[in-house]
Structure 1
Amino acid sequence: MSEPALEMDQELARRLLIDGATFIFLDVPPGTEFGIDMKSWNTGEKFRGVKMIPPGLHYVHYSAVNNEGDAAPRVGFIHNFQKSEFLVKKWDPVTEDISTAEIEEEEKARLKSNLLNLDRYLGPYPFDVWKKWRALTSKITVELVSKLIPETGLIRSALELVSCDKSMGSPASKRRRSRTVEEKEEDLLPQLKPSPGTELRFTSFPERTYPEGASPKEITLHSIDSTYTLEAILKKFDSATDLIGELQFAFVCFLVGHSLEAFEHWKRLVGLLCSCEKAVPKYREMYSDFLTALEAHLIEIPEDFLVDIVASNNFVYCNLRKLFLTIQLHEAVDGRLKSKAAHFKERLTEHFQWDFAHLEREEDDEAPVVVNPDGSY
């Protein structure tokens, strides 16, 4: 593991040497992909861990690498490092994963007493990503992480799947209706589900997107404005800020943990938050935090990832058009949020060349309109 370039003043360096946490990772095979937050390296013979970790939540991740240099799917965990904490983990050569065995306190004490000699084998925390990491995780709390992480504590980019019995209804119900070709073909496929305790525990969306007893007209209105669905989800949190924390958590599990499951949840939350006209003035602070969080996300993600393969459109652009129009036209939205949205639009146009000039106009193909350098479309 080569030392990353640190861009920090001497005072901060001294403070991190004293207050920063230390993560000792023993017996890691050379060549293993190892990283913390948004940086990763291939370990060398002398690798023993990371030092000078700023106190707070951090994402430690790794991938086993075979003799041909092929990396296994990424695995990781999120840990709230305390001031001057000394965390010790070991590699399990049998499972080619982090060991679940508890480290004896006596061994921890021995390693800590030998820290001066260990120091040369520890890579410094990559301080150049710290500012970005804090922006990406600003609303994620320790309580929220404990609620959302898999029961095993490990976040896997490739879920462990096990077979399960198919529930096709009673024999009588099968006889009452003819089954489609698709159903018959699906019946031939193995039914798989994530191994218990390995999947991320995201907040579920309500099965019904409208109140019980709603009229057809009301159902249509709730399909246009998803405020009912949003408020049903918000009831599951202590505060609206936690929903933004879950949005951030889903994004870092995708960005750092390579979890497609997390990416799909992030997309669903973005779509929901952009389609709630009545909610915007009511949850003004949450929407302000949403714009801040989303801007930090879009800086880190390639534009190709924003295209919905089925609908062949840029789902973030399409959803932001709806949100920006709501903020622009809604009389109850205050000037500060309107101004923040306007500046966000400008930065998106500068970064992606997306055009938000005519929000009230329906986009035929819902693809981003690109602004050319000469101002034409």
Structure 2
Amino acid sequence: MDQETAKKLYAEGGIFIFLDVPEGTEFGIDMKSWNTGERFRGVKMIPPGLHFIFYSSVSDTGDTAPRTGFFHNFKKGEVLVKRWDKQNECISPEPVSELEIVNLKDNIRALDNFLGPYPYDIWEKWMSLTSEITIDLVQKLTPSSGYIQSALELESCTDADRPRGKKGDETGPSSKKIRLSNETEKDFLPNLKAKEGTEIRFTPFPVRNYPEGASPSEITRHSLDSSFVIDSMITNYKKSTELLGELEFCYVCFLVGHSLEAFEQWKQLFSLFCSCDVAVKKHRKLYDLFISVIAIQIKEIPEEFLADIVSNNNFVYVKLRNLFRAVQSSDVDGQLKAKVGRFMQSLTELYHWDFEHLDSEEEDEAPVIVET
């Protein structure tokens, strides 16, 4: 970064102080991570705004624990202090005392050599990936524990709560045989659930993908076009763009926080946007923004992530074909169609995917590779 920017961040940037962190711990902020050294005490010069801080404990043998992280909106010049819990190998739930925080702030210059500078080269990219995430949305979606965990803490139900057949079943040897024949392997496994307060509070999808009282023909229409679902989802937010904010939230929690639950929600939201016809014109501005958001996300998808998608019926490619087909066949304005055209071209150049002949239904869902 240039000297003027460095001076401004030094004066106005946030500071994250992390006390008692063991040497070798994996620590990161936004899209960069390191293994801490003996002198590490935190990060300085953090640009004001929303950031994601994460860590993983590392054993003496080099084994790395699942990742844990949290979002924090740094205000100008804010100093955030956390302490490591040695016993549980995580951030201590006990807050650092006000007296200690005041003392640290008063002696912040003495700590300067123990604080690493924020990796400013990632700042622009980070802002583009989180452009629609509001503070209210973060508070709404973050687990009540305050932390995003890549491996959820699970707890089992009591034995009394385990399913033991439907009420009204007859008793006796013959009925027992019937129940056993209908049971699957899952019925004999413990009924595990996420520990309360650790789950990301994703916005739920509607129970039905059609309005109550819909006729059979209307149910069929809504099964082919998910515009009703996207309308229903939008009502859960203060403004429609927060739907894209959740898409970005899930993407970051998966890409940086390694949360598979977030990945599943991201796939559902992505699929929803790509499965609508009526909504493309009805929510034209939202779709314009969706194209911008997803274009950035696809460029940041790791190579192994793309490989997983290719082996799983080419999820991104197939869904984007549906979206591009819907835009081309709609009477939406030419500006959005041109933007979609440029997006298709960029994907063809990046991955050699062929989006020609969108009107034809392909039997094979593998991406068509452009010959070069």
Q: TM-score range by the shorter chain?
A: over 0.9
Letter in 1 for 2:219: I
* 1:220 counterpart residue number: 220
Q: What is the CA distance between 1:302 and its match in structure 2? A: 2.9
* 1:270 counterpart residue number: 270
Number of residue pairs matched?
Answer: 365
Q: Give CA deviations for 1:61-83 in whole Å, capped at 9, x if unaligned.
A: 00000001110000000000000
- For the residues of structure 1 that align with 2:152 and 2:279, how far apart are their CA atoms? 35
Name the SS of the counterpart of 2:202 in structure 1.
coil
Q: What is the CA distance between 1:180 and its match in structure 2? A: 7.3
Letter in 1 for 2:30: D
- For the structure 1 residues 302 and 168, does the alpha-carbon distance in structure 2 shift closer, same or farther, using more than 3 Å as the test? farther
Contact 1:89/1:98 (8 A) holds in 2: yes
Identity score, percent: 56
Unaligned runs of 5+ in 1: 1-7
| Aligned equivalent of 1:129, options 119, 122, 128 | 122
Contact 2:155/2:192 (8 A) holds in 1: yes
Letter in 1 for 2:280: V
- For the structure 1 residues 88 and 174, does the alpha-carbon distance in structure 2 shift closer, same or farther, using more than 3 Å as the test? farther
| Aligned equivalent of 1:11, options 4, 12, 22 | 4
- For the structure 1 residues 181 and 84, does the alpha-carbon distance in structure 2 shift closer, same or farther, using more than 3 Å as the test? farther
- For the structure 1 residues 310 and 120, does the alpha-carbon distance in structure 2 shift closer, same or farther, using more than 3 Å as the test? closer
Q: How does 1:280-295 map to 2 (within 5 A)?
A: 280-295=280-295
Residue 325 (str. 1) matches residue 321 (str. 2): no
Q: What is the CA distance between 1:50 and its match in structure 2? A: 0.1
Contact 2:309/2:316 (8 A) holds in 1: no
| Aligned equivalent of 2:63, options 70, 73, 82 | 70
- For the structure 1 residues 367 and 105, does the alpha-carbon distance in structure 2 shift closer, same or farther, using more than 3 Å as the test? same
Contact 1:58/1:78 (8 A) holds in 2: yes
Q: Give CA deviations for 1:79-109 in whole Å, capped at 9, x if unaligned.
A: 0000000110000001100011111111111
* 1:5 counterpart residue number: none
- For the structure 1 residues 181 and 266, does the alpha-carbon distance in structure 2 shift closer, same or farther, using more than 3 Å as the test? farther
| Aligned equivalent of 1:48, options 33, 41, 45 | 41
- For the residues of structure 1 that align with 2:309 and 2:135, how far apart are their CA atoms? 35
Residue 140 (str. 1) matches residue 133 (str. 2): yes
Q: Give CA deviations for 1:215-245 in whole Å, capped at 9, x if unaligned.
A: 2221111111001111111111111100000
Decide which moves more: 182-191 or 82-91.
Answer: 182-191
Q: What is the CA distance between 1:304 and its match in structure 2? A: 4.5
Q: What is the CA distance between 1:299 and its match in structure 2? A: 1.0
Residue 84 (str. 1) matches residue 77 (str. 2): yes
* 1:201 counterpart residue number: 201
Residue 368 (str. 1) matches residue 364 (str. 2): no
Contact 1:225/1:275 (8 A) holds in 2: yes
Q: What is the CA distance between 1:174 and its match in structure 2? A: 7.8
Contact 1:151/1:197 (8 A) holds in 2: yes
* 2:355 counterpart residue number: 356
- For the residues of structure 1 that align with 2:52 and 2:352, how far apart are their CA atoms? 32
Q: What is the CA distance between 1:325 and its match in structure 2? A: 1.0
Contact 2:165/2:179 (8 A) holds in 1: no
| Aligned equivalent of 2:108, options 97, 109, 115 | 115
- For the residues of structure 1 that align with 2:310 and 2:283, how far apart are their CA atoms? 32
- For the residues of structure 2 that align with 1:310 and 1:369, how far apart are their CA atoms? 12
- For the structure 1 residues 182 and 12, does the alpha-carbon distance in structure 2 shift closer, same or farther, using more than 3 Å as the test? farther
Unaligned runs of 5+ in 2: none
- For the residues of structure 1 that align with 2:170 and 2:345, how far apart are their CA atoms? 56
- For the structure 1 residues 240 and 294, does the alpha-carbon distance in structure 2 shift closer, same or farther, using more than 3 Å as the test? same
